[in-house]
Amino acid sequence: MFKKNSFYDFAYRRFTRNRLAVIGFAVTLFFVIMALFAPLIAPHEPSEFFFVEGQNVYDKYAAPSSEHLLGTDSLGRDVFSRLVYGARVTMMVALLAVSISTVIGTVIGLLSGYFGKIIDNIFMRLVDIVISFPVLFLLISISTIMDPSIWIVIFAIGFVSWTSTARLVRAEVLRVKELDYIAAARACGTSNLKIIVKHILPNILAPIMVQVTIGTAQAILMEASLSFLGVGVQQPTPSWGNMLMDAQKLLVLRDMPWIWIPPGVVNLLLVLAIYFVGDGLRDAFDSRQ
């Protein structure tokens, strides 16, 4: 799969030997498939309302049955179908948000670490400012001043969570910059852009990949929290976070576990699986072992 005995070959072998990491990867893959093929898997449309037979009344809070595997919610919608489509929303939000935060964080980290001095100082103070705001506060502020939509959620998470990537990339650049061949390339007058792109970036890719993995897990949690609080993904679009909103009612919490336990459990499972992958990657890339 990789060139034999290369860095990635060793990492690949170490990763596949790590049982938890492989299980995590399989579970993640399962949810990716679920998201991709949601229309084939889900028995109903996620926003389809069901009525009590023969009556013009929503069939709400129906217990699980063969018709509705996980019952129906407070508006008479099929919980299982919403769960399946929710995987789509969750994945899309998380992946796009992480793409944004990774690009911002990597660029800022590279510039900061490579050029140092005043550029570094400005960017690092910016990081200090952003991390002084609890992430959720910032997200909530952003989501309230804009009209809530799925795109706002994506951009908000992306623009709030780049700081750890920036710090990581900066530290890695500082480490790599001192390596002999990069010092040599600088001495030879190779352009800065070329050094960064051709020499530095490939060398710090491994920790960035770990960070992307962990960042995805965190983005999923952030989206779920925002949606749960009502400032994230809005009804009728299903998300694993907003599906738990109903459970704030004591009645639902106590008597209708099918409404809130499944979305919570799948959320936990996916995040846990991604963390396993992240931990596995970190150990696999750690050549000291």
Partner 1 sequence: MSKTILRVEDLSVRFRTEEGVFNAVDNISFTLEEQKTLAIVGESGSGKSVTSLAIMQLLAENGHISSGEIYVDDENILNMSSSQVQHNILGKKISMIFQEPMTALNPILKIGDQITESIIEHQGTGKKEAYEIALDTLKQVGIPSPEQRIKQFPHELSGGMRQRVMIAMALVTRPKIMIADEPTTALDVTIEAQILNLIEQLKSTFKTSILFVTHDLNVVADIADDVIVMYCGQIIERGPVVDIFENPQHPYTKGLLATMPTLEDHKGELPTIQGGVPSITQRPGGCYFHPRCPHRMKKCETQSPGVYTVGQQQVKCFLFEGNKEERNDGK
Partner 2 sequence: MLKYIAKRLVMSIPVIIGITILSFGIMKLSPGDPLANFVNPSISMEDLEASRDALGLNDPLHVQYFKWIGEVVRGNFGYTYSGNHQISALIMERLPNTIILTLSAFVLSFVVGIPVGVIAAVKKNSRLDYSLTFLSLVGVAIPSFFFGLLVIYLFALVLGIFPSGGMENIRAGYTGFAYFTDILHHLILPAIVLSLGNIASVSRFTRSNMLDVLKEDYIRTARAKGLRNKVILYKHAFRNALIPVVTIFGLSIPFLFSGAYITESIFNWPGMGQLGIKAIQDREYGIIMALNLITATLVLLGNLTSDILYAVVDPRIRN
Minimum CB distance to partner 1 smaller for 12 or for 159: 12
Q: Quick check: 229 binds partner 2 (CB under 8 A)?
A: yes
* CA 85 – CA 71 distance, rounded (Å): 16
Q: Quick check: 159 binds partner 1 (CB under 8 A)?
A: no
- What is the CB-side half-sphere exposure of residue 188 using CA atoms within 13 A? 9
- What is the CB-side half-sphere exposure of residue 191 using CA atoms within 13 A? 3
Q: Which residues contact 220 (CB under 8 A, 6 or more apart)?
A: 90, 93, 94, 267, 270, 271, 274
Q: Under the phi-then-psi rule, with left for phi > 0, alpha for psi from -120 to 50, and beta for the rest, what region is 13?
A: alpha
Q: Quick check: 10 binds partner 1 (CB under 8 A)?
A: yes
Judged by CB under 8 A, the residue of 2, 6, 13, 181 near partner 1 is 13
10's contact among partner 2, partner 1, none, with CB below 5 to 8 A by partner kind, is partner 1
Beta bridge partners of 72: 78
**Segment contacting partner 2 by CB under 8 A, of 80-88, 169-177, 200-208, 219-227:** 219-227
Residue 218: CB minimum distance to partner 2, A: 9
Q: How many residues does the chain have?
A: 289
List C-alpha distances in Å: 57 to 52, 54, 60, 75, 83. Answer: 6, 9, 8, 10, 23
146's contact among partner 2, partner 1, none, with CB below 5 to 8 A by partner kind, is partner 2
The contact set with partner 2 (CB under 8 A) reads: 125-126, 128-129, 131-138, 140-142, 144-147, 217, 221, 224-225, 228-231, 241, 244, 247-248, 250, 253-254, 257, 260, 264, 267-268, 271-272, 275-276, 279
Which residues in this chain contact partner 1 in the complex, by CB under 8 A? 10, 13-14
